[in-house]
């Protein structure tokens, strides 16, 4: 049997910009992507803590160290600058892999800097 398990999570990421007329979807500071084991073009689920919206999209890299969390294209209708998001990616694991796998969970401050890794 296989199960879908949490792989990486950014908790309380603050939206720094939105653009509807932009090709792309969710831009993240490359430093955050690396720390949470996220890759460009990887599918993620996004949960907006500020308004309750939920959507799936893919990632694009933003400048490393910039703190950017940009919501673009159609997804920009689901968030505003300043909103707090949870960004989650998942992995499919076999039963025997589950006990040995640990997701990378990052807690962020208001400037999208990592304040805790779980």
Query: Which are the catalytic amino acids?
Result: 25, 58
Contacts of 93 (CB under 8 A, 6+ apart): 2, 3, 5, 101
Is residue 82 within 8 Å of 2, Cβ to Cβ? Answer: no
Q: Is 108 exposed, middle or buried (0-12, 13-18, 19+ CB in 10 A)?
A: buried
Q: How many residues are present in the chain?
A: 118
- Secondary structure class of 67 (helix, strand, coil): coil
């Amino acid at each position: 049997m296989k199960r879908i398990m949490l792989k990486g999570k950014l908790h309380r990421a603050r939206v720094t910009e939105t653009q509807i007329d932009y090709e792309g979807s969710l831009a993240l500071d490359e430093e955050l992507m690396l720390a949470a084991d996220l890759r460009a073009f990887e599918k993620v689920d996004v949960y907006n803590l500020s308004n309750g919206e939920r959507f799936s999209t893919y990632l694009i890299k933003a400048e490393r160290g910039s703190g950017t969390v940009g919501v673009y294209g159609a997804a920009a209708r689901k968030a505003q600058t300043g909103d707090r998001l949870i960004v989650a990616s998942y992995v499919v694991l076999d039963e025997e892999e589950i006990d040995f796998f640990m997701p990378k969970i990052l807690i962020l401050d208001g400037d999208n800097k990592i304040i805790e890794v779980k």
